[in-house]
Chain A
């Protein structure tokens, strides 16, 4: 219910919002969370639990909430598994429980069987593989929370990089104080302050009812912060609704900000991103992340309306709502008294049950008593009564005997409709541990605290078990001083001392409850996964003793809350059953994400077309205009073929190939990697990285080279051009350009720094248009008048500088098709222009643009390899029948050479590259099909295979074991066709050159 006359800074009662939950309409106010609005509407059941399908209500009020999982909206905005406590209400919101507490649930129906389904149940059942295969799918359908989305997300997510001197995580008293202290004491330091909540202040709002100084402190300090923020070039950034969810190496922290309108982005209303992922690199980090309350343990502690004490208090103070009229507070520390006081002040009935004995009471306790609140000290709750909703409790007196609590009296029953408990606080150490830091168990506060010292990081506030907010202020100032010192902003830090009772709130003198209670059934530790104390006990009895085993055996802490309320209790329970101190049990590993992060937010804008760069040549638009289909090579988009209307790929490729063979074709070859090699040792350098000789290549000439790695395997090939004695241009394959370039730089920089060589990538500098076919010379003569194209004056494997259509060019006579061919290289900005000119001037010869597919066919007809297709990283030059390219007399042992002599590289049955001619000329072997021996085993496979239009027959290249000594033998290629069974195709092993074997075409017509 919502309290009348309640004054809240958060709720704007003038703005009513309507929303739908589980198909029913409700009203709430601006400032509500879905959870608070539902409490106001007396909705108490939110969802069902994972394993047993138990009806559950709210337990917490923030990120720690384990039960209240809902999904929001539909279609492209459907979002699964949100905690009702983290959803800000907006008008028209529509939410559904992850599993409806009001409908029948299979898991709940089999309740009598639950006792037979303890932790580890599945390991012991369905052991026969066949049985498991039968039942698994039905078990699957029971599991899981919300339904998965089914449509593409309508929203976008941004990433933003930030750099700051100081990042403060957490905007409670500690964070606000620390940020201000840094800003006040330095003129240049940049500060970023982030908090997951909508408002800065953290837990302090809880004090507002009882402590006016808290209100004024908050007001003053917030305005000071705003002063820093609202100036030009502000040094302060504040991100609210922003969760620091991961801390990576070297103070790199990721913060996920939910848009101010939260989950509610409505189509067309805004262009804003749904969420922004801030990527923050901070010199210093201040963690002021506070602490999460943990519940007390007792039987059926999972009934609805059993909540955390501070959450009840927060709902009351921040939202003016409460879900009961007869409240019991139960715990082991003073926090329950603070809540009780606030409840009482709102004229609601309440009692306190304190497990601690009377005596030595703090101010808070005395204050509560003075208000007339009934207090039972030295009592524990054994059990909660009620079917789904708490109706009452059973309590008994207890005593600390030695280090252990024991039940001392008979049990009695108390009625209540809301039970708020506090078993102490778990400092939010998560982020601190993401990068390897450890926690330690602090006996004073009965809490795992962050590692004491860490470089470039301080912690302050209740993360280090400081409870009273005025002490938090002191602590935060002290830590900020240390940060300033570390930044060199101050010479000496001032450290003030805290009040004596600073541990008050944590006065949880003992962690445990009596083991008799832990030995009861249905004492839930992890609410979401239905893990009970007895599950932990069972795990331990079965030998799963490590806390990591216990976690994995019981699934404790596996849920969407990652055990924020349950894990530490689980550790304590394990310690109890193992009979060792908590510190010995230790925690499980804290990992990102602190709270869930949408995949969309992780990806940011690097989705769709931005997933990976798409690289285009300067001629790309022309290819688009011609209707080319594209092949992606590395990041490049290359024309694959240019279908004319009605043509399929085969028809287009036939046409393109024949045009090249019979008249003239043109191709955009700009994507090949080009590396400029300069310096007096360039030749020596090429000789070291290529297998062949380079010392005598004359200026004006080009040469093909093959490159290996130290393993002796082919990694790249290409033609290099000698511009002059100190200057070469190397070409690499398109896909290999980057890796070749970096490998070459590595050799130069790390091994051969004595060589005078500079490498530069010039791939982007040039556009390259290849003019190919018997009429290529005729066309070149039209295009360029200052080069002598006569056959004997401009030979194959030479290049000439000249002017092509008015643009300075380097023209190379090289050929990947066996035909007469020229490659025109011009400055990229003229690429499109030259391409169009070539196309125009080539019309008399019916010039035909062709793509990579025709290029493949043409080169295969000539037996030229494609590195990566005909080789696969395990082929040597010998394997591809290119022994001729291994220089014998180079003084320097070029890269890979030494490996050529190891034994396995010289065995006879290595895979070797051969040609295959099918007996039936029309059968085109599928690429990737295997050659088999007479036992049916594989002895090789087809790497390239095409129908050659010019030869009117199929041709193929293959890797065949010992293939080079099998010329003219007949082998069988096995076709694996699913439906027709297996077919074997006889082929003759041949050399891999099929067309123009003598190489007569390269000079073209004449």
Chain B
């Protein structure tokens, strides 16, 4: 057992009386595990954690080709909310939200989940109809959400531009108070530390290069550190899902796109909540360090390069200035990209596959960080019981054949 993080232990360490344990111990892979998780992002690590904690399966390895949290988990804008439109999605994300609310304590690691609220802005009449629809759906599903008009927005966020003459005037917004942000890296590390504490092996710099399938059953994986056996393999490799699927002879209904973000230089706090606008393709919050964390839209082409085009970020900067003209002289400090795996209906796949013992958790696209604990939780149960967790049932991959899509896109813009 690792030493618990607490004021007491900090004091001891500060006085030089205690050495910290390794939060992420360096281990060598065993030759066989009960379950292998491919991908050491937040979702993969959470899956391993809940396998060990709730399903009693501790002989688990998480294999990560680089460093844990180095995929989208470590490069996202960290927005967490559960005000999704469709019942299926909202149940899943709300499940996750509840876990977030106790996560730091559960993991004994402060993931800095900060419920500073999220505004989703509406700029057109149809935006407002969609917002009404979504908020009402949320309330019926027990998810906290309200519709606010532009006056209330201005009261809450005095620096926002609510001029009626803006190119995209702000008409109103949905607001979820329990929504917010968390510290992305902390989430990966917190899950990793808690999982290894329960016996999970977290193996970094270990790329899975092939999946062994015999007679329709998974046998194990080939990695850059050698072969590792397991009867059950969960793939949680986000942007690389198609690549991993191919190793098992499968195809997926996903495409990998660059998604970009950037941060400003750190300033004293001025924006205390999270503001998102789909219409102008920009969303922004201010981190505890003081930098504005800004997310852009996806690039339309496929890519595995973890970078995108200038025009997307420049358009995003313009969008942010539409909302916050006072940020014009604030400077971008750093810009980066991630690889997001996008499903046609903007909902994930949490599913068994045609290969026995092989499960996929992918397709979270541009919005899976908020689902990290929930996704790991239902996926763990799905793997452990070889049966989809009830919240995961709608997210079966077969929906693309049956047509039972979940379609979180909603309206693709009114057209009259």
Contacts and interface: CB of A to CB of B under 8 A. Distances in A.
Interface string B403-416: 11101011111111
A269 to B, nearest CB: 18
B289 interface: yes
Given A81-B267, A543-B26, A122 B326 contact: no
B268 A148 contact: yes
Contacts, number: 359
Contacts of B267: 80-81, 144-148
Contact of A928 (B10, B110, B132, B399): B132
A194 B240 CA distance: 39
B315 A606 contact: yes
B331 A128 contact: no
Contacts of A872: 407, 409-412
B140 interface: yes
A436 B167 contact: no
A486 interface: no
B300 interface: no
Interface string A113-130: 001111001111111110
Contacts of B288: 136, 139-140, 143
B22 A254 contact: no
Interface in A539-564: 541-546, 548-549, 552-553, 555, 558-560, 562
16 contacts: A124-B5, A124-B6, A127-B108, A128-B104, A148-B269, A149-B330, A436-B307, A541-B20, A546-B70, A553-B185, A562-B333, A599-B320, A608-B167, A866-B416, A872-B410, A928-B128
A129 B105 contact: yes
Given A122-B110, A603-B321, A150 B415 contact: no
A427 B182 CA distance: 36
A127 B193 CA distance: 15
Nearest to A121: B10
A277 B141 CA distance: 48
B70 A548 contact: yes
Given A80-B329, A81-B267, A869-B126, A124 B167 contact: no
Contact of A144 (B23, B133, B289, B335): B289
Q: How large is the interface on B (under 10, 10 to 19, 20 to 34, 35 or more residues)?
A: 35 or more
Interface in A590-628: 591-593, 596-600, 602-604, 606-609, 611-612, 614
A248 B305 CA distance: 12
Contacts of B13: 116, 118
A246 interface: yes
Interface stretch (A314-322, A774-782, A897-905): A897-905
Nearest to A245: B332
B284 to A, nearest CB: 10
B74 A928 contact: no
Interface in A668-724: 711-712, 715-716
A927 interface: yes
B335 A246 contact: yes
A606 B167 CA distance: 11
A542 B186 CA distance: 14
B101 A80 contact: no
Looking at B24, B190, B305, which has the most chain A CB atoms within 10 Å of its CB?
B24
Contacts of A560: 265-266, 331, 333
B189 interface: yes
Given A145-B267, A559-B333, 5 more contacts: A116-B10, A559-B265, A735-B413, A904-B403, A941-B133
A81 B331 contact: yes
Given A132-B114, A543-B23, A145 B265 contact: yes
Contacts of A598: 328-332
Given A132-B112, A936-B140, A123 B290 contact: no
Contacts of A712: 403
Interface string A924-952: 00111110100011100101000000000
Contacts of B185: 552-553
Contact of B416 (A129, A606, A733): A733
Contact of A600 (B135, B321, B411, B412): B321
Nearest to B7: A125
B110 A132 contact: yes
Contacts of A436: 305, 307
A633 interface: yes
Interface of A: 50, 77-81, 115-118, 121-129, 132-133, 136-137, 139-141, 143-153, 246, 248-249, 252, 254, 279, 434-436, 538, 541-546, 548-549, 552-553, 555, 558-560, 562, 589, 591-593, 596-600, 602-604, 606-609, 611-612, 614, 631-634, 711-712, 715-716, 732-736, 852, 855-856, 866-869, 871-874, 899, 902-905, 926-930, 932, 936-938, 941, 943, 974, 976, 978
B278 interface: no
Interface of B: 5-7, 9-11, 13-14, 19-26, 66-67, 69-70, 74, 87, 101-105, 108-115, 123-126, 128-137, 139-141, 146, 159, 166-168, 183, 185-186, 189-190, 204, 264-270, 272, 280, 288-290, 305, 307, 309-310, 313-315, 317-322, 325-336, 344, 399, 401-405, 407, 409-416
A124 B87 CA distance: 36
A852 B125 CA distance: 11
A542 B20 contact: yes
Contacts of A711: 344, 403, 405
A929 B136 contact: yes
Contacts of B317: 599, 602-603
Given A603-B314, A735-B414, A143 B265 contact: no
A133 B11 contact: no
Contact of B329 (A149, A553, A904): A149
A634 B415 CA distance: 8
B140 A938 contact: yes
Given A548-B70, A549-B67, A151 B415 contact: no
B5 A125 contact: yes
B115 to A, nearest CB: 7
Given A132-B112, A633-B414, A148 B265 contact: no
Given A591-B335, A938-B87, A932 B20 contact: no
Nearest to A540: B22
Nearest to A599: B317
B19 to A, nearest CB: 7
B320 A632 contact: no
Contacts of A542: 20-24
A607 B318 contact: yes
Given A123-B110, A937-B140, A78 B329 contact: yes
Contacts of B332: 592-593, 596-599, 602
A902 B401 contact: yes
Given A115-B14, A544-B24, A596-B265, A869 B411 contact: yes
